[in-house]
Amino acid sequence: MMLKEKYLPLVSGWTHSGITCVIFLAVICCRTVASDVKNVKSDEHSVCWARVGHSYPLKCAFELFDSSFFNNTKILEIVKGQKEFNIPIFTANRKLVASVNGGLHDPSYLVFNSAWGSEQSQHVTKRFKYPSLSGIKKPRSEQDIAFMSILELGELIKTKQLTSKELTKFFLKRLKRYNHALEAVVTYTEELAYKQAKEADKLLAQGVYLGPLHGIPYGLKDIIAVPHYKTTWGSTSFKNQVLDIEAWVYKRLKSAGAVLVAKLVSGSLAYDDIWFGGRTRNPWNIEEFSTGSSAGPAASTSAGMVPFAIGSETAGSVTYPAARCGVTALRPTFGTVGRTGVMSLSESLDKLGPFCRSATDCAIILDAIRGKDPDDLSSRDILLDDPFSVDITKLTVGYLEDAEMEVVHVLASKGVNMIPFKLNYTVDSVQGILNFTMDVDMLAHFDEWQRSGKDDVYEAQEQWPTELRRARVIPAVDYVQAQRARGKLIREVRESFTVDAFIGNATDWERVCLGNLVGLPVIVVPTGFKNIPNPPPNNTTRRRTTITTGIYAPPERDHIALALAMAYQSVTNHHRQQPPIDDLGPNDPIPSSPTSS
């Protein structure tokens, strides 16, 4: 007899129970079940007993929850309550708030606050004072234009050496030219871009200048909704989805005069770099992939396809692709940037942040998109000092064992007090806490997706489908216990954070988990390059592996991390290097991208 033919009758009638699959697994693992059935007395008070035949498979199921201390009577009582009480509530709640995927509606009121103090300050947000540039001339080389900073491009527009329409056309051309090699674009927003560029040029002609983002093209990770355009979340299940929502971050950038030219790749449902159209590549080494779900924003910024882009991080999706693609990127303090109109993984972990050429550009973008989003319960008007006015000589900055020492030496030479540092905490389940939090929250937002079997067509079965099936059997009490452990971790990190900032590896997984759980801002800074492993013959390739570091600050001290990164980049040029996507070397077997659109 086939396994399913033998055991399926045992679980028939349990299709609405959240523990169906667990019971079935338990039956399989209980090898003595057949002989035990004969020795177990029936219970006339339990319909479940009659259906299953005995309580042994149920006992095995509870062992999977680490709850083997329940006796048979208690197990059957719980099962009866599951049917009569829990399942009706499950059904009612699913109908009420879980019939639409993505978590865009009915946000959880279990709101995480990354502030270390208990009081919320009341203030009016003060905008940063950007450095002024003068004498900027339009380069003769289009390649040089592609890698100019936001302030430099803004000066070209302000002085009317370039129109926004011309710059928009230029970057749309680059996006189409290099997307063949990088697979970084989901949708070109060409009609919208030219409309916004036309408006920017019109305002400037009328003497209205909106600031450094006036007329500057950019891209959005494709989990961010823009009306009339697809918001695919990178997934086959949603690749034709159009959301009639203006995301908060899009509205902020639109009001600053920026021009949206493309929706950029998000890994499927914001997990890694695999999406329904392929897999996004690293411009510095197109033989490898960009890693992390903000793959499109990182690759496009790195390749000079956009001056900047907005990505997101729940657990490494800013830090990993920024490090791989060699761009400067900021994961801000949790709650700094509103998330209305953005697909939700975990409402206590999700953050939006910029991918840019430099820390200066990151500061400009952060200034434009920060502030209280009235429809995002977690967003706050966080009082940040002006990073352009920070006196770094008054800072004490720690460096971990895995910090890039060039950064340490440069900052020390500029008067920063640099000291060896170690972040101490006793919580040893940091990675598990993050997985519990992210997976359970994600499943709550994609409950219908899993129940309807749409996870069967997911792009990488070993990713979300596997994780979310595990999440289905995490008891609520253990989810809450994980949040209590998270609170302990936050307290311990706060007590251990005895410096103004610290420098360390940006992609150490334990640190990525810790930083996201605690709410630490971090800026990823390019610090150099090294040769790729197994280069082609005669080592003629220009492909490189990027080297980066992270500058971490306490929550609500993003300006300190930005100021330190700007100080480092003021005397180094790693962030100005251009990837070799046009010229890989004469003996490099990887074909270069097309030379025209």
Give the per-residue pLDDT at 25: 47
pLDDT along the chain (597 residues), means of 10: 39 41 47 41 43 63 76 81 76 75 72 62 75 91 95 97 98 97 97 98 97 98 98 97 97 98 97 95 95 97 98 97 98 96 95 98 98 91 94 98 97 98 92 91 94 90 89 85 89 96 97 96 97 84 95 97 98 96 82 46
Q: H helices within 370-523, ranges in order?
A: 405-413, 430-445, 447-451, 464-471, 476-496, 509-518
- Domain 142-423+497-534+542-576: which CATH number of 3.10.20.30, 3.40.50.620, 3.90.1300.10, 2.40.30.60: 3.90.1300.10
Give the per-residue pLDDT at 282: 97
Give the per-residue pLDDT at 502: 98
CA-to-CA distance for 333 and 499, rounded, in angstroms? Answer: 17
Give the per-residue pLDDT at 480: 85
Tell me the residue ranges of DSSP E strands in 268-372.
274-275, 278-279, 281-282, 285-289, 309-313, 328-331, 351-356
Query: Measured in whole angstroms, how far is the alpha carbon of residue 205 from the centre of its chain?
Result: 38
**Of 346, 312, 309, 326, which Cα lies nearest the Cα of 579?**
326
From residue 514, alpha-carbon distances to 83, 492, 494 in Å are: 39, 11, 12
Active site residues: 221, 293, 317
Give the per-residue pLDDT at 454: 92
Q: How many CA atoms lie within 13 A of 401 on its CB side?
A: 4
**Of 327, 318, 325, which Cα lies nearest the Cα of 290?**
325
How are strands ordered across the β-sheet holding 396-399? 185-188, 259-264, 217-221, 309-313, 351-356, 328-331, 522-531, 544-552, 501-504, 396-399, 417-420
Give the per-residue pLDDT at 32: 40
Give the per-residue pLDDT at 124: 62
Contact, 562 vs 387, CB < 8 A? yes
Written as six digits, the tokens of 430 are: 């940091």
